Amino acid sequence: MKCFMCNGDFIEKDVNYVVDLEKTIIIIKSVPARVCTQCGEKFFDDVVARSLEKMVNQFKELNTEIVIVNYKEKVA
Ligand SMILES: [Zn+2]
């Protein structure tokens, strides 16, 4: 698999996923992703993307200013 932006190689790496919803900022740490070694573009697998979406929807309703969680602790 090559990067569609620059055709660079991907490496598997844990990244921090940040969502800024104006009222709430959600930071999900240690999310497994593929990161392009050339341009830094990040891609998530479908399974990971779906879990992220689920988490964001859940945290949105908490009405907290900032939420910081660890992906690996949430997805066992
Ligand atoms: Zn790239």
What is the CA(23)–ligand 1 centre distance, in A?
Answer: 32
Task: Single out the residue of 56, 7, 8 nearest to residue 31, CA to CA.
Answer: 56
In a domain, 9, yes or no: no
Tokens of 16: 């921090």
Give pLDDT, residue 14: 97
Q: Tell me how far the alpha carbon of residue 60 lies from the centroid of ligand 1, in angstroms.
A: 31
d(CA 3, CA 35): 9
Token pair recorded at residue 69: 């969680």
CA 58 to chain centroid:
15
Residue 61 lies in a domain: yes
Mean pLDDT per 10-residue segment, the chain (76 residues): 94 96 94 97 95 94 93 85
Write out the residue range of the structural domain in which residue 22 sits.
16-74
Cα of 42 vs centre of ligand 1, distance in Å, is 9
* Number of domain units in the chain: 1
Q: Dihedrals φ, ψ of 4, to 5°?
A: -80, -10
> Does 69 fall in a domain?
yes
What confidence score (pLDDT) does residue 25 get?
96
Q: Is residue 11 part of a domain?
A: no
The pLDDT value recorded for residue 76 is 65
Is there a domain that residue 2 lies in? no
Whole-structure pTM value: 0.86
